């Protein structure tokens, strides 16, 4: 490993330590976490009750079993309608099926998206009752879950079309003694949004403490071919106090996450699709649950997430929610709410000030424009890789020139080390003098690379989860958002899996060629293998990621090789050697030993 690389790695390590120090929680945050733990403990019983009412994950498919309907709910069991009534609603973006059992959606199809097997994306899992439920304790001490109650539709129309800027409101009601519980869903023809108003007409006094829980209990369907990859990106999320909190499972088990106070929104998401509940009223708390059944690295894994809000019934006796059901797409989520774009993974939270504008104003417009014009997103990725390398060329040029100069100085540096082998201080002084005389900055090679890191990290995080390249094919890759498997193995290799991807091999080979072109060689025979370690490590990491990302880095490396050859050709080696030789003459009284 040369000195330049060692300095660069040391700087990265120092930055990492500094980041770890600055990110450690303050005393205020520790107190807040303790408060949330107390809240979690107090909500534990409620979570168990919700788990009992939630559908169970089966080992065969994504359908759920349903518990028997309640037989005695006191005043909340007075519905005059006991028949199941299904209402079909189509907008420009959705195909809904709503049921009066629970007064909510039982099917949600997204018209613009397909599953990996070319079937339409059905967002919520199969169920015979509403995927949303209102829960509370009645003053008669009954535990009420509206997903189990049969409501009465206020309209007999069962097939409805909503197009363009049109809207339509679907209402259900449940008689409660002298009052009613009313659900009113408003649909928008060309928006990934539903508005829900829950009206407590003369019945708020029948609800204990005037507090309710509103939850999504339906679960999201699997839509991608590689279930294990999708499971690792599935989560339940909430946003409160300008902070995004994520409940992400990495192994089998069950966990929950709670927060108290004002909650901006809660959601559950898979890799590419999500549902979000955004309350218009004040909230008391939120509770997220996540469950993974089976080995998360296997294709037989199952995941299940729920999200709920605890709210007081306001003086208006109406609770209002905006709900998003659709793709994890930055522009769509930004239109829905200012903060829901946090669900799009564009990098670490402390980098979002940089990564969000980069994705929103450069990457997405570039891909959408050229994608519509060219029609092949593999070619778009190639062009994007070339453009990024051209934009970063000033940094690349400085880095390559500095690396070339350092290689030229290696013989002189080695001579200094041998001369002052027993005096490290004089050795360091002589090396620094050599740098100054030759006009070489030892940090010139790593600092430009560090300046490129925010861009590279953003691309690394975003490309793995970008719906822009989902199901886009190129050459042998049928889906640029998934691994481009060219060889299925009869066994599984730790960290690599049971397959070999194609573009990742090209990426690894291009890295080796780039190292050879840049002259990164080891004089120590025992260290000859070091230049090959990074390609091997990246092959392990990239073998299971989106093939579009491997394609991008392959193009990035190929253009880097071309730039390296061009820069090497234009470096004035004679001028640099004269500076070095002049330095040697000064040290040796006018005589210098010519470096071989």
pLDDT attached to residue 26: 56
| Residue partners of 427: CB distance under 8 A and separation at least 6 | 416, 417, 419, 420, 421
pLDDT the model gives residue 572: 59
Question: Which of 327, 345, 360 has the alpha carbon at shortest distance from 192?
Answer: 327
Q: How far apart are CA 196 and CA 82, in angstroms?
A: 23
User: For 302, which DSSP code?
Assistant: E
**Which residues, 6+ apart, have CB-to-CB distance to 352 below 8 Å?**
342, 346
Q: What is the pLDDT of residues 354-410, one digit of tens each?
A: 888 888 888 889 998 998 899 899 999 999 989 888 887 877 777 776 766 777 777
Are the CB atoms for 4 and 431 separated by under 8 Å? Answer: no
Residue 3 has a pLDDT of: 53
As to burial, measured by CB atoms within 10 angstroms (0-12 exposed, 13-18 middle, 19+ buried), residue 460 is middle
At residue 57, the pLDDT reads 41
Q: Are 283 and 238 in contact (CB under 8 A)?
A: no
Domains of the chain plus CATH, in order, are 24-59+72-344 (2.70.98.90), 369-578 (no CATH)
Low-confidence ranges of the chain (pLDDT < 50): 1, 4, 9, 16, 19, 32, 35-36, 38-40, 42-70, 583-584, 586-596
- Integer CA distances (angstroms), 343 to 219, 237, 338, 462, in order: 17, 8, 11, 11
pLDDT at position 394 is: 79
Distance, in Å, from the CA atom of 412 to the CA atom of 583, rounded to the nearest integer, reads 9
Single pTM value for the model: 0.76
Can you tell me the distance from the alpha carbon of 216 to that of 52, in angstroms, rounded to the nearest whole number?
Answer: 14
Q: Are strands 235-240 and 94-99 parallel, antiparallel or unpaired?
A: unpaired
Nearest-10 Cα torsion for 309, 314, 316, 320? -20
Picking from 222, 187, 213, the residue whose alpha carbon sits closest to that of residue 266 is: 213
C-alpha distances (whole Å) from 88 to each of 96, 291, 503 are 6, 31, 44
User: Residue 518: what pLDDT?
Assistant: 64
Q: d(Cα 129, Cα 480) in Å, to the nearest integer? A: 36
């Amino acid at each position: 490993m040369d000195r330049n690389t060692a300095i660069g790695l040391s700087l990265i390590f120092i930055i990492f330590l500094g980041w770890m120090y600055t990110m450690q929680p303050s005393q205020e945050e520790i107190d807040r976490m303790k408060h949330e733990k107390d809240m979690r403990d107090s909500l534990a019983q409620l979570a168990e009750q919700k788990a009992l009412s939630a559908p169970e994950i089966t080992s065969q498919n994504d359908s759920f079993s349903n518990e028997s309907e309640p037989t005695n709910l006191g005043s909340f069991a007075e519905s005059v309608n006991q028949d199941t009534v299904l209402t079909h609603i189509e907008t420009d973006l959705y195909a809904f099926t709503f049921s009066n059992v629970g007064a909510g959606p039982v099917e949600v199809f997204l018209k613009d998206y397909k599953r990996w097997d070319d079937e339409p994306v059905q967002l919520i899992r199969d169920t015979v009752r509403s995927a949303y439920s209102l829960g509370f304790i009645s003053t008669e001490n009954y535990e009420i879950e509206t997903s189990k109650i049969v409501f009465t539709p206020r309209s007999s129309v069962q097939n409805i079309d909503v197009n363009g800027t049109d809207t339509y409101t679907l209402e259900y009601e449940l008689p409660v003694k002298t009052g009613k519980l009313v659900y009113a869903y408003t649909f928008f023809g060309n928006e990934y949004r539903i508005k829900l108003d829950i009206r407590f007409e003369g019945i708020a006094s029948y609800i204990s403490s005037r507090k309710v829980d509103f939850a999504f209990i339906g679960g999201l369907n699997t839509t991608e071919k590689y279930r294990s990859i999708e499971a690792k990106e599935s989560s339940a999320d909430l946003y409160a106090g300008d902070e995004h909190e994520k409940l992400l499972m990495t192994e089998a088990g069950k966990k929950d996450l709670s927060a108290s106070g004002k909650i901006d929104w809660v959601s559950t998401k898979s890799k590419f699709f999500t549902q979000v509940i955004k309350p218009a009223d004040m909230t008391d708390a939120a509770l997220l649950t996540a469950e993974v059944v089976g080995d998360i690295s296997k294709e037989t894994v199952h995941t299940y997430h729920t999200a709920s809000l605890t709210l007081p019934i306001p003086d208006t006796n109406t609770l209002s929610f905006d709900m998003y059901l659709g793709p994890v797409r930055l522009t769509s989520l930004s239109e829905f709410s200012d903060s829901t774009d946090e669900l799009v993974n564009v990098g670490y939270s402390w980098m979002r000030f940089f990564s969000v504008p980069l994705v929103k104003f450069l990457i997405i417009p570039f891909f959408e424009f050229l994608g519509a014009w060219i029609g092949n997103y593999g070619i778009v990725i190639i062009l994007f890789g070339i453009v990024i390398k051209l934009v970063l060329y000033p940094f690349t040029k400085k880095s390559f020139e500095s690396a070339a100069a350092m290689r030229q100085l290696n013989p002189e540096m080695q001579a200094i080390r041998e001369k002052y082998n027993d005096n490290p201080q004089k050795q360091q002084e002589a090396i620094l003098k050599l740098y100054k005389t030759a006009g070489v900055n030892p940090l010139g090679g790593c600092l430009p690379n560090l300046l490129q890191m925010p861009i590279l990290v953003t691309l690394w995080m975003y490309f793995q989860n970008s719906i822009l390249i989902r199901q886009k094919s190129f050459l042998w890759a049928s889906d640029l958002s998934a691994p481009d498997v060219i060889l299925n193995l009869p066994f599984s290799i730790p960290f690599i899996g049971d397959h070999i991807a194609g573009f990742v091999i090209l990426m690894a080979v291009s890295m080796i060629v780039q190292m050879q072109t840049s002259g990164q060689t080891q004089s120590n025979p025992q260290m000859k293998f070091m230049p090959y370690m990074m390609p091997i490590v990246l092959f392990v990491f990239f073998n299971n990621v989106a093939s579009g990302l491997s394609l991008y880095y392959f193009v990035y490396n190929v253009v880097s090789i071309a730039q390296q050859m061009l820069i090497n050709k234009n470096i004035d080696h004679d001028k640099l050697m004269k500076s070095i030789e002049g330095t040697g003459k000064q040290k040796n009284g006018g005589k210098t030993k010519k470096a071989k």
